[in-house]
């Protein structure tokens, strides 16, 4: 394939990362086959519809499917560029061991159709060394191909790692405009991958080696986690000392070289709460700070449950509204969500008193079954609940005016209602003014 020709692209894994990526590549007029093991995902996309919530993704997918630029399939097809965006969860061993089996199984599928000239790019967040491990696997399956780093001759294929750093809710914008680190197994691999990303990325693409690119992604999220842990630890200290953490942080941030992040009910999602463990697993002795950051952020969830429990017990009979289940604002993703953890604990304890408000959920997750808790809308909660526990900073909650919540006792774990006053007798709890 020469530089000016449009490559045929195969994107493997059509979830929150793979589907928007496939759609954006298709929009750049490269024909894309999206591959997913889940048949319903494939059927939905081939109807021009989407199975995840993401701003503007529905129109984009509909358009590229109608133009014939994006097709979905459960079977891998030959292509010029393969982009792997499958999950990288933990193993079920209880030790937060990274599970790269999805990546390896996708790489094995690719090996089956790989030909000279192809480029394979891993986008899944991965422990350091995964791209090389993928190369080893392919090498074993395709001894007929010369692989990068394993031959003194020009290799037949290029293999690179290029992580995603998108923000759910802004994925399409950030996929296009964010800077990217592109790590090749060799510099030649990095250049091949760079040429591909240049077709649809407007941000600056910086090339490096695969291991550095893998570590860069993990470091970005470990950095966020440790800094949020600092804010969460301050919030627990402030609760103990009867201080308003929001006020303390606001004042401290007036220092020109201080920028403390905002506390919350914990840290969730499948990135910030997960990726630090990929570093810890690789260098357990050298990562006490990163490990402690994880522990502090997990402890914050339990702290919120305790504080909420005290508040609810102190106000017998008052209906309780838990505002939000998503792991962050304005998205429908409830995976690894501290809000969901806290709300489920409260629902199990207080049953029918508990109402859940989650504008992005059609029904409550399974763990709420038989708790008696009920999904309601924000208007119902404001009209009927005497206790409001803010767990997610969805825009729809932020805009609730003070007069509509002044009857209620508020426990605002996100600091979205700054007009609410600290209630000194209950550290960390705010009463609407
Ligand atoms: N979601 C995010 O915001 C985000 C951001 C940055 C990085 N990441 C990383 O991107 C990767 C993918 O995350 P996601 O959120 O898109 O996951 P996801 O669970 O939303 O989607 C993954 C998809 O891959 C499919 N799949 C699994 N194994 C497969 C296989 N062998 N062949 C084909 N399809 C397969 C699944 O059916 C699923 O539809 C993960 O490593 C994640 O850590 C995610």
At 88-119, the pLDDT tens digits run 999 999 999 999 999 999 999 999 999 999 99
Residues 333 and 384 in one domain: yes
CA distance linking residue 277 with residue 256, whole number of Å:
32
Q: Regarding beta strands 180-184 and 158-161, do their DSSP bridges make them parallel or antiparallel, or are they unpaired?
A: antiparallel
DSSP readout, 82-124? EEE-----B-TTSS--B--HHHHHHHHHHHHH--TT-EEEE-S
At 141-161, the pLDDT tens digits run 999 999 999 999 999 999 999
Residues 234 and 169 in one domain: no
Give me the chain's average pLDDT, please: 95
How close is the Cα of 197 to the center of ligand 1, in Å?
Answer: 19
pLDDT of residue 427: 43
Q: 400 pLDDT exceeds 90?
A: yes
CA distance linking residue 6 with residue 13, whole number of Å:
21
Give a yes or no: residue 71 inside a domain: yes
Q: Which of 30, 189, 205, 271 is catalytic?
A: 271
Whose CA is closest to 60, among 25, 11, 9, 17? 25
Tell which one of 19, 75, 79, 85 to mutate to probe ligand 1, the residue whose CB is within 8 A of the most ligand atoms: 85
Residues 16 and 108 in one domain: yes
Q: 433 pLDDT exceeds 50?
A: no
- Give mean pLDDT, residues 239-267: 96
Domain that residue 367 falls in: 221-420
pLDDT of residue 414: 96
Give a yes or no: residue 1 inside a domain: no
Residue 89, ligand 1, Cβ within 6 A? no
Residues 104 and 196 in one domain: yes
pLDDT band, residue 404 (cuts 50/70/90): very high
pLDDT band, residue 4 (cuts 50/70/90): low
Residues 305 and 343 in one domain: yes
How close is the Cα of 353 to the center of ligand 1, in Å?
Answer: 37
CA distance linking residue 265 with residue 347, whole number of Å:
16
Q: Please tell me the total count of domains within the chain.
A: 2
3-state helix, strand, coil in the chain (%, to 5): 40, 15, 45
Give a yes or no: residue 339 inside a domain: yes
At 196-219, the pLDDT tens digits run 999 999 999 999 999 999 999 999
Residues 128 and 169 in one domain: yes
Residues 157 and 253 in one domain: no
Tell which one of 11, 17, 32, 41 to mutate to probe ligand 1, the residue whose CB is within 8 A of the most ligand atoms: 17
Residues 193 and 236 in one domain: no
pLDDT of residue 424: 40
pLDDT band, residue 421 (cuts 50/70/90): low
Q: 289 pLDDT exceeds 80?
A: yes
- Decide if 217 is catalytic: yes
Residues 191 and 232 in one domain: no
Q: 432 pLDDT exceeds 80?
A: no
Q: 423 pLDDT exceeds 90?
A: no
How close is the Cα of 16 to the center of ligand 1, in Å?
Answer: 7
Long-range contacts of 403-407 (CB under 8 A, 24+ apart): 405/432, 406/432, 406/433, 407/432
- Give mean pLDDT, residues 357-361: 97
Q: 342 pLDDT exceeds 50?
A: yes
pLDDT of residue 1: 58
pLDDT of residue 270: 84
Q: Which of 71, 192, 217, 355 is catalytic?
A: 217
Give a yes or no: residue 208 inside a domain: no
Return the CATH number at 345: 3.40.50.720
Report the percentage of the chain scoring pLDDT > 70.
Answer: 96
At 54-75, the pLDDT tens digits run 899 999 999 999 999 999 999 9
């Amino acid at each position: 394939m020469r530089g000016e020709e449009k490559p045929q692209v195969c994107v493997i894994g059509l979830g929150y990362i793979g589907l928007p990526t496939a759609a954006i590549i298709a929009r750049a007029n490269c024909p894309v086959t999206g591959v997913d093991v889940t048949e319903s995902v494939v059927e939905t996309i081939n109807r021009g519809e989407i199975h995840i919530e993401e701003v503007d993704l529905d129109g984009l997918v509909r358009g590229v499917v109608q133009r014939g630029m994006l097709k979905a399939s459960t079977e891998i097809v030959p292509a010029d560029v393969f982009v792997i965006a499958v999950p990288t969860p933990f193993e079920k061993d209880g030790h937060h061991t990274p599970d790269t089996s999805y990546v390896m199984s996708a790489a094995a599928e690719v090996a089956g159709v790989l030909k000279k000239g192809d480029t394979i790019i891993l986008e899944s967040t991965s422990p350091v060394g995964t791209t090389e491990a993928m190369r080893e696997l392919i090498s074993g399956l395709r001894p007929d191909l010369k692989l990068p780093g394993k031959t003194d001759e020009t290799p037949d294929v290029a293999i690179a790692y290029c992580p995603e750093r998108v923000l759910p809710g802004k994925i399409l914008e950030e996929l296009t405009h964010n800077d990217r680190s592109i790590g090749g197994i060799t510099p030649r691999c990095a250049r091949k991958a760079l040429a591909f990303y240049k077709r649809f990325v407007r941000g600056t693409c910086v090339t490096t080696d695969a291991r550095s690119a893998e570590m860069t992604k993990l470091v970005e999220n470990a950095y966020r986690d440790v800094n949020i842990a600092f804010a969460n630890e301050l919030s627990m200290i402030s609760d103990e000392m009867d201080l308003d953490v929001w006020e303390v942080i606001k004042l401290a941030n007036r220092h020109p070289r201080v920028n403390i992040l905002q506390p919350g009910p914990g840290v969730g999602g499948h990135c910030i709460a997960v990726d630090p463990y990929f570093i810890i697993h690789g260098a357990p002795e050298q990562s006490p700070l990163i490990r402690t950051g994880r522990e502090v952020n997990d402890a914050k969830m339990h702290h919120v449950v305790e504080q909420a429990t005290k508040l609810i017990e102190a106000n017998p009979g008052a209906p309780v509204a838990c505002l939000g289940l998503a792991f962050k604002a304005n998205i429908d993703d409830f995976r690894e969500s501290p809000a969901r953890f806290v709300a489920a604990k409260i629902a199990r304890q207080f049953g029918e008193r508990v109402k859940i408000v989650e504008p992005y959920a059609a029904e409550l997750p399974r763990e709420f079954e038989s708790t008696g808790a009920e999904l309601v809308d924000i208007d119902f909660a404001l009209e009927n609940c005497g206790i409001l526990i803010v767990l997610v900073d969805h825009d729809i909650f932020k805009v609730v005016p003070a007069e509509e919540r002044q009857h209620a006792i508020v426990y605002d774990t996100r600091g979205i209602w700054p007009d609410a006053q600290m209630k000194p007798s209950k550290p960390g709890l705010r009463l609407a003014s």
